[in-house]
Structures are given as structure tokens and as C-alpha cells.
Amino acid sequence: MPELPDITVYVERLRTKAVGTVLRRVRVLNAFLLRTALPPIAQAEGQRVVGVERLGKRVVLVLDNGLFLAIHLMIAGRLRWLAAGTKPPGRIALALFEFDTGTLVLTEAGTQRRASLHLLAGRAALQAIDPGGIDVLSCDLDAFAHQLALENHTVKRALTDPRLFSGIGNAYSDEILHRARLSPTALTQSLGAEGTQILFNAIRAVMTEWTDRLRAEAGDWPAKVTAFHPQMAVHGRFGQPCPVCGAPVQRIVHADNEANYCARCQTGGKLLADRAMSRLLKASRPRHIDDLP
């Protein structure tokens, strides 16, 4: 799923292409995509784009008649910018936003169709779909510590909870926790002041570094948005060496999510277990990084 760095770059590039131009036509190609009936989508047509914003993991087009087009890409959704007159992609295209200068295309790979589009009247309606998480790059340490201590969850779960923090997902939470040298299963209320400060610094550093990196790589438009990058320390690198200590990266899997971590850097060598692995291996399951074959 595109997270804060990816969404930020989308927003920045879309500002340069769409702000000040008129949205001539909106073509919704899959009925499931549009999650609002009123106002009708036709009311967005013929309106000038006066801003582009990020709302959590949503890209929001602000129109001059007080309407907001909010796009949530979910896991497999992506945005493309096509020059005027260019034929859009086939089955994966969900919606076309046509401007005089080009066309913004919302695509989604696969068949699950989780991406969404809302047309909302007024900023209050826009805020109503905001889960409420704070912006990790603009909040101060006190606000961060307050959010972190609201509930006693694992830090992995807390970082990816959009009600607590805005724009952090599975990929960058792995990178943040590796940078902070914290176990993904550490409990938020056990971190203390020092641990909270370390985590806060790691979030700001990782998110800033990756936004700068993706911004530099994007060129005119981010052509390849992915949760997996070879420069990442642990995310998507199960079994590969940790860039800090060389130990093989480990992972635990729960439902559709997984946590990637370095046991030597983050858990004092302890190998974390998910339920499936514990049931499968039982007593023979390795408990420490040094027990691995």
C-alpha cells in the first residue's frame, strides 16, 4: 500500500500538473469505485482544481466549488499521468480524470478492487472520513508520546493504526522499528521516555529520508510505486542479511500483514514466533538467532 512518502510525491507532482487547470471530465469505469452518491460525480466536472492535499493515505483534489475528490489507493491502486490524447490502460483502469493538460488515471492491479473514490461537499465532510491520526512529520514529541500511550499495543500495531498516526503502513513501520532498534512486539506503554524519543526520531528520519529518495527518483511522475525497495533494511528482505549486522532478516506473519525485523539488532537475538509457526514446529522451533541452521 502506498504510504506517506509515496502519497507525498504523488501530491507534489499532481500539484504541478493539475492546480489551476479545469477538470473537464470524470469517467468512473468500475461502479464499485465511487463510494458516494451525493453530490453526483458530474458536479466535479468543469471545476478548477485549486489544491491537492494528502489526507492520511488519500490523495485529495480540491475543487473551486467547495467539492473534494478523495482517492484511496489501498494496496494495489496506483496513479498514472498520461499526456492528452494518450490511450489509457485496459482492464486495470478504474477512473479517468481528464484535464486539458493530460489525464490522471487511477489503476488497480488484481481482482479484489479495494481502491475507493469519494466526492465530498465541504471540508467538514472530508474530515469525517479522516481516521484522525496525527502527522508524524509535523507533530512534536509531546503529541507523539500522547498518541503512543493512548492504548497499550505492540509498537508495530500502533504505528500502523491510522487513528493514531497518519500515513504509516506495513513497509515503513518495519524500517522505522529497525532504525530505532525496537522489537515489533514491544508494548507501547513499556517504552518509557527514552524509548519514545528514539522511536520519534526514527520515524522522522526514515519518513524524511524515503520521501526525499522517492522524490528524487520520481522525475516527472512516479512510474513505479512499490512497498519493496532494494535499499530497505528489512521490509521484504526475509532471509537476506541485515545491512547493519549481517544476520538474516526474520519475519512473523499475522493474517494479511507481516513484520520483518533483525533479531540481532532489534530483539537481543530472540526469534519472534507467530501462531502458525509455533503450531507447526512446536518444541523444535528455534528460539534464538544463533540456533538457526
Domains of the chain: 4-128 (3.20.190.10), 134-291 (1.10.8.50)
Buried b / exposed e across 172-184, counting CB within 10 Å, b at 16+?
bbbbbbbbbbbbb
pTM > 0.85: yes
CA–CA gap between residue 277 and residue 293 (Å, rounded): 16
Residue 279's pLDDT is 47
Q: Which of 87-91, 173-177, 218-222, 249-253 has the lowest mean pLDDT?
A: 87-91
Residues written for the chain: 293
Task: Tell whether the model's pLDDT for residue 37 goes beyond 80.
Answer: yes
Grid cell at residue 9: 510525491
pLDDT at 221 over 70: yes
Angstrom distances, CA of residue 265 to CA of 7, 73, 181, 289: 29, 33, 6, 11
Q: What is the mean pLDDT of residues 95-113?
A: 93
Give residue 280's pLDDT band: very low, low, confident or very high (50, 70, 90).
very low
Cβ 200 vs Cβ 209: under 8 Å: no
57 in helix, strand or coil?
A: coil
CA distance 10 to 266: 32
pLDDT score of 200 more than 50: yes
Q: What is the mean pLDDT of residues 20-26?
A: 97
30 pLDDT higher than 70 = yes
Cα separation of 225 and 108, whole Å? Answer: 12
pLDDT for 281 beyond 60: no
Per DSSP, the residues of 94-137 read EEEEEESSEEEEEEE-SS----EEEEEESHHHHHHT---PEETT
Interval 170-179 mean pLDDT: 98
Whether cis (ω within 30° of 0) applies to the bond prior to 89 is no
Q: What is the mean pLDDT of the chain?
A: 93
CB 254 within 8 A of CB 274: yes
Residue 125 scores a pLDDT above 90: yes
The contacts of residue 20 (CB under 8 Å, 6+ apart) are 48, 49, 50
Query: Is 208 in a helix, a strand, or coil?
Result: helix
Rounded distance, CA 20 to CA 26, Å?
Answer: 17
d(CA 234, CA 243): 8
Would you give the distance in Å from CA 101 to the centre of its chain?
28
